[in-house]
Each structure stands twice: as C-alpha cells, then as structure tokens.
Structure 1
Amino acid sequence: MSLSSPLGTDGPSVEIQGSDGVVVAAHGLPIKAFSGLVDGKPQVGPSAPFSYEVVVPSAAACPGHSLAEAMGDTSAQHAGSSTLTVTVSDPAVARHRAAHGGDASSALLVASWPPDPNAVADGAGTAPGLEDVES
C-alpha cells in the first residue's frame, strides 16, 4: 500500500492522555523515515515494513506539562498512568480495506500504548480510546 507523504495526507497526530486529561496534543507532525520509502512515499505491507519516528515538538505539551514528563509516563514502569495514541488518516487505507473485504468507510489508522482492543476510533482523526493498528 502506498501512503501519502509525509505519512497520511496531513501527517500523523499524537495525543498523550494522563491522569488529569490531555497532556500532549499535536497534529500534522513530521516524521523521520528509516525504511520503507519509495519515491518519497511510505510503502507498507507484510513484506514491506515501514519504519519511522514521529517528531513531536516540545510545544505540543499542554500548559503545566512537559513532553519529557508525558513520554516518561508511557513507559511500562508507569503502565496505566497515561496513554499514547498516534493516528494517521490516508485514502489509501480505505482503498486497502475495501480491496480486502474490510470496512472502507474510514481512512483512519490508530496505534496506541498500552493497547486496548475494545476501543474504537471516531473517524475524525481522534481516538476516544485506544486500538491496535490494522495491517
């Protein structure tokens, strides 16, 4: 599957929820790609993994919070104290789902830590809960 560049049509979004609500939120973020680019576009699939890092600026931290503090809370040591959610929206995702008999009504992919297989993304670029990424 060939995704739009930088990743999705507008770049990925990141949200970190802590015990007192949203502590980090940013949309349209840049990425650093390590593998899986073909002609500058991410290529994804079972035989073509796409390895990347989302670049989250420190300004994404909400008032009274820091990015370093929020990222530390997502470690296994602090499991349950916060959740990290990354979303990507790309028309190629909907086309891929349709081609494989899946629900083509949403172009949204959601990845989170810790994972929650019961949560559902709302399709508007946010995830009220968490879910694993569909391959």
Structure 2
Amino acid sequence: MARILVTEDDHSVRSFVLRALQLDGHETLAAEDGAEAMDVLAREEGAFDLLLSDIQMPVMDGIALARGAAGVWPGLTILLMTGFAHQRERADGLDAVVHDVVPKPFSLAQIRAAVNDALAAKLRRTAA
C-alpha cells in the first residue's frame, strides 16, 4: 500500500481522513500545518507516495506547501482538500503540481476514491 502524509489543521477532519486511509492499508503520517509537513517531508526525505493537504491552514497554507514540496520533491503526488470555493480557485494555477482538489465536506467513500485516483495516476506516470 501507499505511504501518505496527511496535513490538516482540524483535528476531527485529520482523524477521519487518517482512519479512512488506514482502513485501506495505507501507512500514514500526520502534520497540523504546512510548515510541519515540510519538516516531516525533509526528515523523511520526501519518501511519500502522496501528500494530502488542506488548503486553508495557519502558519503555511496548502498552496504554499504544494509549491514548496513540488519544488524539492517533483515526483511527489499532491492532492488538496478545501471547504472554500475561493481556495479551490487559488489551486487552479497549480495543475502541473497538484493532482486534484477534493471539496469538503466529503464522505469516507469520496476521500478514499480521491486518494485511490491520485495513487493510480502516480502509477501511470511512473510506468510511462
């Protein structure tokens, strides 16, 4: 299964997503904001199959995190989440960096499907 870094400042959403991914057998690590996620990525030398991050967070938001992570680890697949339409629009210019943006609220099935889609796209890219 995949190794996934989940970055979400809302504890209940973070816990929900972690449980959903662990149900599918994925190995997960968590960060509360983009700065902490960059620290985890650096410590782990970018060894993740997927970075799943909220967009709106304190300290460093998901857009800055996506740009920073992609600059250092260009092969990292990135999936963003947001409950704010204007935040989704901010991510539109990141098509080369971000696989997709998942709207909140989402169900267990929706987040699992979005993650599986992102991981499948990563496999297709590496196989090509």
- Same fold, TM exceeding 0.5? no
TM-score (norm 2): 0.28
TM-score by length of 1: 0.27
- Specify which structure has the higher proportion of helix: 2
